[in-house]
Amino acid sequence: MAFDELYIANRMLIKVGAETMSSFPNKLTKTGRLTQAVYDGIVFEVFGMNIPWKFATTRAQLIEITDPAVAFGWDHQFALPELIVRNLGTVDEQDDMINYPYKREMIMTVANNRTRVTPVYLTDQDEMFIRYVVWLTDPASWPGWFQALVIAKGAKELLWSVKKDDFKSLDLRKELEDAISAAKGANGSEDMETGDNLMDLDMGNTDILNATDLIAGRTGNRHRFNFRSINRT
């Protein structure tokens, strides 16, 4: 099975009880036009959620822009990477998080009666590295739980444009909440951050257990067994 845009879009339509498409983009039907109109926005919104999606996280040294010259009292300006969705913070060459002042603005240049906008970071640092979430446009590169989240989000957005159904709306809202919880749990297991004493700072395992309980409809005492409470000396 091809996990492409057509697959994701049709899964959205199936969840709202609409007819599926044979191709995507598709302007031949009302549902096709509606899905095409909201698809990119939905995907971008999910990538931009306040969650550091680890499967879509990368690092880059930013390219300095010297023309036009930097202004407003700053020493340097750097272009943002392509397809950046969310900046997770500045890092050094060893990928350690570091803090220093910087400000996001944009440069506007005019040539041949056309205005070009370039987003930049202004800073006094002579080089700049960032860690950021990148927009992966190919659904085949998304984990299954992220696909499920995009589908749930899209179905909820499409419902009232395709068919007005109060009961279905409640179902899709609950499904989206469950998909968010599952995605947070799965995302938490993608890596582990430790302190100087090698204790887990990310607590991804606990997130997975809590998300599993949510999906299964359990509200028991899972939190009583919390890895953070174990004395690892």
Q: Distance between CA 169 and CA 187 in Å, rounded?
A: 27
Give the relative orientation of helices 144-162 and 166-188 as an angle to the nearest 10 degrees. Answer: 160
Tokens (6 digits) for 198: 């090698």
pLDDT of the residue at 228:
36
Where is pLDDT greater, at 233 or 143? 143
pLDDT at 227 over 50: no
pLDDT digit string, tens, across residues 78-106: 999 999 999 999 999 888 899 999 999 99
pLDDT digit string, tens, across residues 124-159: 999 999 999 999 999 999 999 999 999 999 999 998
To which residue do tokens 């446009």 refer? 137
Tokens (6 digits) for 173: 């809202």
DSSP letter for 229, please: G
Q: Distance between CA 219 and CA 47 in Å, rounded?
A: 29
Residue percentage of the chain with pLDDT more than 90:
59
**Kind of pairing between the strands at 102-111 and 114-123:** antiparallel
Return the ∠ at Cα 194 (arms to 136 and 131), rounded to 5°: 30
61-95 core/surface letters (b: 16 or more CB in 10 A; e: else): ebeebeeeebeeebebbbebbeeebbeeebbeeee
pLDDT of the residue at 94:
85
Q: Residue ranges of the domains in the chain?
A: 54-134
Q: How confident is the model at residue 219 (pLDDT cuts 50, 70, 90)?
A: very low
188 and 210 Cβ atoms separated by less than 8 Å: no
Indicate the burial class of 182 (C-beta count within 10 angstroms; 0-12, 13-18, 19 or more). Answer: buried
pLDDT digit string, tens, across residues 106-117: 988 888 888 989
pLDDT of the residue at 51:
95
pLDDT at 123 over 50: yes
pLDDT digit string, tens, across residues 173-212: 999 999 999 999 999 988 766 666 555 555 444 444 454 4
Return the ∠ at Cα 52 (arms to 142 and 45), rounded to 5°: 65
Residue percentage of the chain with pLDDT more than 70:
81
pLDDT digit string, tens, across residues 29-70: 888 899 999 999 999 999 999 999 999 999 999 999 998 888
Half-sphere exposure at residue 159, Cβ-oriented, CA atoms within 13 angstroms? 19
Tokens (6 digits) for 164: 């007005």
Who contacts 137 (Cβ-Cβ below 8 Å, separation ≥6)?
Answer: 43, 83
pLDDT of the residue at 204:
47
